[in-house]
Amino acid sequence: MKNAVRLPVVLFLIICLAGKSALAQQGDELLFYKHIGMSAWNGVYYGLAADHIFEIKDEKAAVAIPIITAGTLALIPLFTNENRAITSNQLLLTGHGQLIGWAHGGSLALLINGDNSFDEGKSKLTVGLAALTSIGLGIAGKQLATKMDWSEGRVALYRHYGLAGPLTGVSTCLIFSEDARALAGSVLLSGAASYLLADRVNRWHEFTRGEIRATQALTIMNGVLGVCILADIEPEDINTPAWIFPAIGLAGGTALGHMWLKDLNLTPRQGMTTLYAAGLGALIGEGLAILIRSDNADFNAVDYLFPYTAGMLTYSLAVSSLKKKNSIQACLPEKKSSSTWDFALMPQNLYINNKLGGNSNLLNNRYFGMQPIFAASCTF
Protein backbone atom coordinates (compact mmCIF):
# COMPACT_ATOMS: atom_id res chain seq x y z
CA MET A 1 0.00 0.00 0.00
CA LYS A 2 2.90 2.35 0.79
CA ASN A 3 4.30 1.86 -2.71
CA ALA A 4 0.86 2.49 -4.18
CA VAL A 5 0.67 5.81 -2.35
CA ARG A 6 4.29 6.75 -3.02
CA LEU A 7 3.94 6.45 -6.80
CA PRO A 8 1.22 9.13 -7.19
CA VAL A 9 3.32 11.48 -5.02
CA VAL A 10 6.32 11.03 -7.32
CA LEU A 11 4.09 11.51 -10.36
CA PHE A 12 2.68 14.69 -8.85
CA LEU A 13 6.18 16.09 -8.29
CA ILE A 14 7.16 15.28 -11.88
CA ILE A 15 4.04 17.00 -13.20
CA CYS A 16 4.75 20.06 -11.02
CA LEU A 17 8.32 20.31 -12.34
CA ALA A 18 7.10 19.92 -15.91
CA GLY A 19 4.45 22.55 -15.32
CA LYS A 20 7.03 24.96 -13.91
CA SER A 21 9.16 24.52 -17.03
CA ALA A 22 6.12 24.94 -19.26
CA LEU A 23 5.23 28.26 -17.67
CA ALA A 24 8.60 29.58 -18.83
CA GLN A 25 7.50 29.07 -22.42
CA GLN A 26 5.63 31.70 -24.40
CA GLY A 27 2.67 31.86 -26.76
CA ASP A 28 1.65 28.73 -28.63
CA GLU A 29 4.23 26.63 -26.78
CA LEU A 30 2.57 27.45 -23.46
CA LEU A 31 -0.88 26.60 -24.84
CA PHE A 32 0.42 23.24 -26.03
CA TYR A 33 1.84 22.37 -22.63
CA LYS A 34 -1.42 23.42 -21.02
CA HIS A 35 -3.15 21.03 -23.41
CA ILE A 36 -0.87 18.20 -22.29
CA GLY A 37 -1.49 19.00 -18.63
CA MET A 38 -5.24 19.17 -19.15
CA SER A 39 -5.19 15.84 -21.00
CA ALA A 40 -3.29 14.20 -18.14
CA TRP A 41 -5.66 15.67 -15.56
CA ASN A 42 -8.72 14.34 -17.38
CA GLY A 43 -6.97 11.02 -17.82
CA VAL A 44 -6.89 10.64 -14.04
CA TYR A 45 -10.68 11.01 -13.87
CA TYR A 46 -11.24 8.61 -16.75
CA GLY A 47 -8.99 6.10 -15.02
CA LEU A 48 -10.95 6.45 -11.77
CA ALA A 49 -14.13 5.90 -13.77
CA ALA A 50 -12.60 2.72 -15.21
CA ASP A 51 -11.76 1.55 -11.68
CA HIS A 52 -15.41 1.88 -10.73
CA ILE A 53 -16.87 0.38 -13.90
CA PHE A 54 -14.62 -2.70 -13.86
CA GLU A 55 -14.75 -3.02 -10.06
CA ILE A 56 -11.00 -3.03 -9.57
CA LYS A 57 -10.36 -4.43 -6.10
CA ASP A 58 -6.58 -4.69 -6.15
CA GLU A 59 -5.08 -1.56 -4.56
CA LYS A 60 -2.05 -1.42 -6.84
CA ALA A 61 -4.16 -1.78 -9.97
CA ALA A 62 -6.65 0.81 -8.72
CA VAL A 63 -3.82 3.35 -8.35
CA ALA A 64 -1.98 2.31 -11.52
CA ILE A 65 -4.92 2.57 -13.93
CA PRO A 66 -5.53 6.34 -13.45
CA ILE A 67 -1.78 6.97 -13.78
CA ILE A 68 -1.62 4.93 -16.99
CA THR A 69 -4.64 6.69 -18.50
CA ALA A 70 -3.20 10.08 -17.52
CA GLY A 71 0.12 9.33 -19.19
CA THR A 72 -1.54 7.85 -22.27
CA LEU A 73 -3.83 10.82 -22.85
CA ALA A 74 -0.91 13.22 -22.33
CA LEU A 75 1.18 11.36 -24.91
CA ILE A 76 -1.53 11.49 -27.59
CA PRO A 77 -1.17 15.24 -28.37
CA LEU A 78 2.60 14.97 -27.95
CA PHE A 79 2.89 12.42 -30.76
CA THR A 80 -0.04 13.42 -32.99
CA ASN A 81 0.61 17.18 -32.96
CA GLU A 82 4.25 17.47 -34.02
CA ASN A 83 3.92 21.17 -34.83
CA ARG A 84 2.48 21.80 -31.36
CA ALA A 85 -0.14 24.02 -32.94
CA ILE A 86 -3.22 24.64 -30.81
CA THR A 87 -5.26 27.80 -30.45
CA SER A 88 -6.68 29.27 -27.28
CA ASN A 89 -10.22 28.59 -28.52
CA GLN A 90 -9.42 24.91 -29.13
CA LEU A 91 -7.99 24.56 -25.65
CA LEU A 92 -10.91 26.36 -23.98
CA LEU A 93 -13.68 24.54 -25.83
CA THR A 94 -12.00 21.15 -25.38
CA GLY A 95 -11.77 21.68 -21.64
CA HIS A 96 -15.31 23.04 -21.48
CA GLY A 97 -16.70 20.06 -23.36
CA GLN A 98 -14.89 17.61 -21.10
CA LEU A 99 -16.17 19.39 -17.98
CA ILE A 100 -19.84 19.72 -18.89
CA GLY A 101 -19.78 16.22 -20.38
CA TRP A 102 -19.61 14.77 -16.88
CA ALA A 103 -22.70 16.73 -15.82
CA HIS A 104 -24.69 16.09 -18.99
CA GLY A 105 -23.80 12.40 -19.18
CA GLY A 106 -24.64 11.91 -15.53
CA SER A 107 -27.92 13.77 -16.02
CA LEU A 108 -28.80 11.49 -18.93
CA ALA A 109 -28.21 8.48 -16.69
CA LEU A 110 -30.44 10.06 -14.03
CA LEU A 111 -33.19 10.44 -16.59
CA ILE A 112 -32.92 6.72 -17.36
CA ASN A 113 -32.63 5.29 -13.85
CA GLY A 114 -34.01 8.07 -11.66
CA ASP A 115 -33.22 7.97 -7.95
CA ASN A 116 -31.61 4.53 -8.34
CA SER A 117 -28.82 5.82 -10.61
CA PHE A 118 -26.18 5.48 -7.91
CA ASP A 119 -27.26 2.11 -6.58
CA GLU A 120 -24.70 -0.66 -6.73
CA GLY A 121 -26.15 -2.21 -9.85
CA LYS A 122 -26.72 0.97 -11.85
CA SER A 123 -23.87 3.26 -10.82
CA LYS A 124 -21.66 1.73 -13.54
CA LEU A 125 -24.00 3.07 -16.20
CA THR A 126 -24.05 6.50 -14.57
CA VAL A 127 -20.27 6.79 -14.30
CA GLY A 128 -19.64 5.22 -17.71
CA LEU A 129 -22.15 7.41 -19.51
CA ALA A 130 -20.74 10.51 -17.82
CA ALA A 131 -17.16 9.59 -18.83
CA LEU A 132 -18.11 8.79 -22.43
CA THR A 133 -20.07 12.04 -22.74
CA SER A 134 -17.10 13.96 -21.36
CA ILE A 135 -14.79 12.42 -23.96
CA GLY A 136 -17.27 13.00 -26.79
CA LEU A 137 -18.02 16.62 -25.93
CA GLY A 138 -14.30 17.31 -25.51
CA ILE A 139 -13.65 16.09 -29.05
CA ALA A 140 -16.69 18.01 -30.34
CA GLY A 141 -15.47 21.20 -28.65
CA LYS A 142 -12.06 20.98 -30.31
CA GLN A 143 -13.61 20.32 -33.73
CA LEU A 144 -15.99 23.23 -33.27
CA ALA A 145 -13.15 25.58 -32.40
CA THR A 146 -11.20 24.37 -35.45
CA LYS A 147 -14.03 24.91 -37.93
CA MET A 148 -15.62 28.08 -36.54
CA ASP A 149 -13.83 31.42 -36.75
CA TRP A 150 -15.00 32.69 -33.38
CA SER A 151 -13.40 35.42 -31.31
CA GLU A 152 -12.03 34.58 -27.87
CA GLY A 153 -14.76 36.72 -26.33
CA ARG A 154 -17.48 34.68 -28.02
CA VAL A 155 -15.95 31.42 -26.85
CA ALA A 156 -15.70 32.78 -23.30
CA LEU A 157 -19.35 33.85 -23.50
CA TYR A 158 -20.48 30.35 -24.49
CA ARG A 159 -18.38 28.78 -21.74
CA HIS A 160 -19.84 31.12 -19.14
CA TYR A 161 -23.43 30.43 -20.14
CA GLY A 162 -22.73 26.71 -20.44
CA LEU A 163 -21.84 26.63 -16.74
CA ALA A 164 -24.09 29.33 -15.28
CA GLY A 165 -27.18 28.17 -17.18
CA PRO A 166 -27.43 24.63 -15.73
CA LEU A 167 -26.67 25.91 -12.21
CA THR A 168 -29.48 28.43 -12.52
CA GLY A 169 -31.77 25.74 -13.91
CA VAL A 170 -31.09 23.36 -11.03
CA SER A 171 -31.64 26.12 -8.45
CA THR A 172 -34.95 26.99 -10.06
CA CYS A 173 -36.01 23.34 -10.24
CA LEU A 174 -35.30 22.80 -6.54
CA ILE A 175 -37.96 25.39 -5.72
CA PHE A 176 -40.60 22.96 -6.94
CA SER A 177 -39.13 19.45 -6.83
CA GLU A 178 -36.18 17.37 -5.68
CA ASP A 179 -36.96 14.45 -7.97
CA ALA A 180 -33.81 13.10 -9.65
CA ARG A 181 -35.36 12.99 -13.12
CA ALA A 182 -36.64 16.55 -12.78
CA LEU A 183 -33.20 17.79 -11.74
CA ALA A 184 -31.53 15.91 -14.59
CA GLY A 185 -34.00 17.33 -17.08
CA SER A 186 -33.38 20.84 -15.78
CA VAL A 187 -29.63 20.40 -16.33
CA LEU A 188 -30.08 19.22 -19.92
CA LEU A 189 -32.78 21.73 -20.88
CA SER A 190 -31.16 24.73 -19.23
CA GLY A 191 -27.81 23.71 -20.72
CA ALA A 192 -29.21 23.71 -24.25
CA ALA A 193 -31.17 26.92 -23.66
CA SER A 194 -28.13 28.68 -22.22
CA TYR A 195 -26.16 28.25 -25.47
CA LEU A 196 -29.08 29.62 -27.48
CA LEU A 197 -29.28 32.58 -25.12
CA ALA A 198 -25.52 33.12 -25.38
CA ASP A 199 -25.86 33.24 -29.17
CA ARG A 200 -28.55 35.91 -28.86
CA VAL A 201 -26.39 37.91 -26.46
CA ASN A 202 -23.45 37.70 -28.89
CA ARG A 203 -25.65 39.09 -31.66
CA TRP A 204 -26.65 41.95 -29.38
CA HIS A 205 -23.06 42.80 -28.45
CA GLU A 206 -19.72 41.10 -29.00
CA PHE A 207 -17.95 41.07 -25.66
CA THR A 208 -14.22 40.65 -25.20
CA ARG A 209 -12.72 37.80 -23.23
CA GLY A 210 -11.73 40.24 -20.49
CA GLU A 211 -15.29 41.55 -20.19
CA ILE A 212 -16.60 38.00 -19.79
CA ARG A 213 -14.01 37.29 -17.10
CA ALA A 214 -15.19 40.38 -15.24
CA THR A 215 -18.78 39.20 -15.72
CA GLN A 216 -17.83 35.86 -14.20
CA ALA A 217 -16.59 37.68 -11.11
CA LEU A 218 -19.99 39.33 -10.65
CA THR A 219 -21.80 36.06 -11.30
CA ILE A 220 -19.71 34.19 -8.73
CA MET A 221 -20.10 36.89 -6.08
CA ASN A 222 -23.86 37.16 -6.47
CA GLY A 223 -24.32 33.40 -6.80
CA VAL A 224 -22.36 32.76 -3.60
CA LEU A 225 -24.37 35.50 -1.90
CA GLY A 226 -27.57 33.67 -2.84
CA VAL A 227 -26.22 30.37 -1.48
CA CYS A 228 -25.21 32.08 1.79
CA ILE A 229 -28.70 33.57 2.17
CA LEU A 230 -30.14 30.10 1.58
CA ALA A 231 -27.85 28.64 4.25
CA ASP A 232 -28.75 31.43 6.66
CA ILE A 233 -32.46 30.72 6.27
CA GLU A 234 -31.88 27.01 7.04
CA PRO A 235 -34.94 25.61 5.24
CA GLU A 236 -36.39 22.37 6.57
CA ASP A 237 -37.09 20.87 3.13
CA ILE A 238 -34.74 20.67 0.16
CA ASN A 239 -37.36 21.95 -2.25
CA THR A 240 -37.99 25.42 -0.87
CA PRO A 241 -38.69 28.84 -2.40
CA ALA A 242 -35.40 29.99 -0.86
CA TRP A 243 -33.58 28.41 -3.81
CA ILE A 244 -34.67 31.46 -5.77
CA PHE A 245 -31.83 33.41 -4.15
CA PRO A 246 -28.97 31.45 -5.82
CA ALA A 247 -30.89 31.49 -9.11
CA ILE A 248 -31.37 35.26 -8.95
CA GLY A 249 -27.74 35.71 -7.95
CA LEU A 250 -26.42 33.74 -10.92
CA ALA A 251 -28.75 35.24 -13.52
CA GLY A 252 -28.65 38.73 -12.03
CA GLY A 253 -24.86 38.76 -11.77
CA THR A 254 -24.54 37.84 -15.44
CA ALA A 255 -27.09 40.44 -16.56
CA LEU A 256 -25.48 43.12 -14.39
CA GLY A 257 -22.08 42.29 -15.84
CA HIS A 258 -23.34 42.66 -19.41
CA MET A 259 -24.86 46.07 -18.72
CA TRP A 260 -21.98 47.35 -16.60
CA LEU A 261 -19.06 46.12 -18.69
CA LYS A 262 -20.39 46.72 -22.18
CA ASP A 263 -17.91 48.55 -24.46
CA LEU A 264 -15.16 48.70 -21.82
CA ASN A 265 -12.88 46.66 -24.12
CA LEU A 266 -11.19 44.86 -21.25
CA THR A 267 -8.23 42.67 -22.13
CA PRO A 268 -7.97 39.13 -20.68
CA ARG A 269 -5.40 40.38 -18.18
CA GLN A 270 -7.67 43.24 -17.12
CA GLY A 271 -10.51 40.76 -16.69
CA MET A 272 -8.32 38.72 -14.35
CA THR A 273 -7.54 41.91 -12.46
CA THR A 274 -11.23 42.34 -11.64
CA LEU A 275 -11.43 38.72 -10.47
CA TYR A 276 -8.44 39.17 -8.18
CA ALA A 277 -9.82 42.48 -6.90
CA ALA A 278 -13.16 40.91 -6.02
CA GLY A 279 -11.59 37.86 -4.37
CA LEU A 280 -9.06 39.80 -2.31
CA GLY A 281 -11.70 42.34 -1.29
CA ALA A 282 -13.96 39.52 -0.13
CA LEU A 283 -11.04 38.09 1.84
CA ILE A 284 -10.57 41.42 3.63
CA GLY A 285 -14.29 41.57 4.32
CA GLU A 286 -14.21 38.07 5.81
CA GLY A 287 -11.40 39.18 8.11
CA LEU A 288 -13.48 42.14 9.28
CA ALA A 289 -16.45 39.83 9.82
CA ILE A 290 -14.33 37.57 12.04
CA LEU A 291 -13.32 40.57 14.16
CA ILE A 292 -16.89 41.79 14.58
CA ARG A 293 -18.62 38.44 15.09
CA SER A 294 -19.01 37.22 18.64
CA ASP A 295 -17.23 34.03 19.64
CA ASN A 296 -20.25 31.74 19.95
CA ALA A 297 -22.36 33.26 17.18
CA ASP A 298 -23.91 31.00 14.55
CA PHE A 299 -23.65 31.65 10.83
CA ASN A 300 -25.47 34.93 10.14
CA ALA A 301 -25.65 37.87 7.75
CA VAL A 302 -22.38 39.37 9.01
CA ASP A 303 -20.48 36.36 7.69
CA TYR A 304 -21.48 36.97 4.08
CA LEU A 305 -22.56 40.61 3.82
CA PHE A 306 -19.16 41.96 4.88
CA PRO A 307 -17.20 39.87 2.33
CA TYR A 308 -19.76 40.61 -0.38
CA THR A 309 -19.73 44.37 0.26
CA ALA A 310 -15.93 44.55 0.43
CA GLY A 311 -15.59 42.42 -2.70
CA MET A 312 -18.05 44.57 -4.63
CA LEU A 313 -16.24 47.72 -3.47
CA THR A 314 -12.80 46.57 -4.64
CA TYR A 315 -14.34 45.18 -7.83
CA SER A 316 -15.98 48.55 -8.56
CA LEU A 317 -12.71 50.37 -7.96
CA ALA A 318 -10.88 48.02 -10.33
CA VAL A 319 -13.50 48.38 -13.07
CA SER A 320 -13.56 52.18 -12.68
CA SER A 321 -9.77 52.37 -12.89
CA LEU A 322 -9.62 50.13 -15.97
CA LYS A 323 -12.45 52.02 -17.65
CA LYS A 324 -10.63 55.32 -17.17
CA LYS A 325 -7.37 53.83 -18.43
CA ASN A 326 -8.97 52.40 -21.57
CA SER A 327 -10.86 55.64 -22.26
CA ILE A 328 -7.64 57.65 -22.12
CA GLN A 329 -5.90 55.09 -24.31
CA ALA A 330 -8.70 55.29 -26.90
CA CYS A 331 -8.42 59.10 -27.07
CA LEU A 332 -4.69 59.06 -27.79
CA PRO A 333 -3.68 59.31 -31.46
CA GLU A 334 -2.38 56.16 -33.02
CA LYS A 335 1.38 55.97 -32.82
CA LYS A 336 2.83 56.07 -36.29
CA SER A 337 5.74 53.89 -37.11
CA SER A 338 9.01 55.74 -36.67
CA SER A 339 11.38 56.31 -39.57
CA THR A 340 14.05 53.67 -40.06
CA TRP A 341 17.57 54.74 -40.97
CA ASP A 342 20.00 52.40 -42.70
CA PHE A 343 23.64 53.55 -42.62
CA ALA A 344 26.60 51.70 -44.13
CA LEU A 345 30.30 52.65 -43.92
CA MET A 346 32.64 51.23 -46.57
CA PRO A 347 36.25 52.37 -45.87
CA GLN A 348 37.71 49.91 -48.39
CA ASN A 349 36.34 52.11 -51.18
CA LEU A 350 38.77 54.87 -50.15
CA TYR A 351 41.67 52.71 -51.35
CA ILE A 352 39.81 51.83 -54.57
CA ASN A 353 39.03 55.48 -55.28
CA ASN A 354 42.70 56.45 -54.83
CA LYS A 355 43.65 53.88 -57.46
CA LEU A 356 40.97 55.23 -59.80
CA GLY A 357 42.02 58.81 -59.25
CA GLY A 358 44.38 58.93 -62.19
CA ASN A 359 43.76 61.03 -65.31
CA SER A 360 42.92 57.88 -67.25
CA ASN A 361 39.58 57.72 -65.44
CA LEU A 362 38.50 61.24 -66.41
CA LEU A 363 35.37 61.59 -68.56
CA ASN A 364 34.12 65.11 -69.29
CA ASN A 365 36.37 66.34 -66.45
CA ARG A 366 34.68 63.89 -64.03
CA TYR A 367 35.98 60.69 -62.53
CA PHE A 368 33.97 57.61 -63.38
CA GLY A 369 33.88 54.31 -61.49
CA MET A 370 34.31 56.00 -58.11
CA GLN A 371 32.76 54.08 -55.15
CA PRO A 372 30.96 55.67 -52.15
CA ILE A 373 32.69 55.61 -48.78
CA PHE A 374 29.35 55.61 -46.90
CA ALA A 375 25.69 55.23 -47.84
CA ALA A 376 22.55 56.21 -45.93
CA SER A 377 18.83 55.62 -46.57
CA CYS A 378 15.67 56.43 -44.65
CA THR A 379 12.39 54.50 -44.77
CA PHE A 380 9.28 56.46 -43.76
With 60 as the cut, is the pLDDT of residue 63 above it?
Answer: yes
In a domain, 374, yes or no: yes
Domain coverage including residue 362: 340-379
In a domain, 202, yes or no: no
Mean pLDDT calculated for residue range 120-131: 92
In a domain, 113, yes or no: no
32 DSSP β-pair partners = none
**pLDDT tens by residue, 68-85:** 999 999 999 888 887 878
Closest CA to 86 of 22, 36, 28: 28
Q: Tell me, what's the pLDDT at 22?
A: 43
Q: Tell me, what's the pLDDT at 346?
A: 64
With bands split at pLDDT 50, 70 and 90, how would you rate the model's confidence at 18? very low
Rounded to whole angstroms, the Cα distance separating 113 from 170 reads 18
With bands split at pLDDT 50, 70 and 90, how would you rate the model's confidence at 344? low
In a domain, 237, yes or no: no
Write out the DSSP string of 151-196.
-HHHHHHHHHHHHHHHHHHHHHHHHH---HHHHHHHHHHHHHHHHH
Rounded to whole angstroms, the Cα distance separating 229 from 120 reads 36
| Residue bearing the bigger pLDDT, 47 or 3 | 47
In a domain, 363, yes or no: yes
Q: Tell me, what's the pLDDT at 174?
A: 94
How many CB atoms within 10 Å of residue 278? 27
Entry pTM: 0.80
Q: Is-contact 344 375, C-beta < 8 A?
A: yes
Q: Tell me, what's the pLDDT at 120?
A: 78
CA-based angle 156:161:167, to the nearest 5? Answer: 135
**pLDDT tens by residue, 308-339:** 999 999 999 999 999 999 988 877 766 554 55
With bands split at pLDDT 50, 70 and 90, how would you rate the model's confidence at 5? very low
**pLDDT tens by residue, 132-160:** 999 999 999 999 999 999 999 999 999 99
Domains in the chain, number = 1
With 50 as the cut, is the pLDDT of residue 23 above it?
Answer: no
In a domain, 137, yes or no: no
Label each residue of 100-135 as H, E or C: HHHHHHHHHHHHHHHHHCCCCCCHHHHHHHHHHHHH
In a domain, 362, yes or no: yes
In a domain, 355, yes or no: yes
What type of residue is 292?
A: I
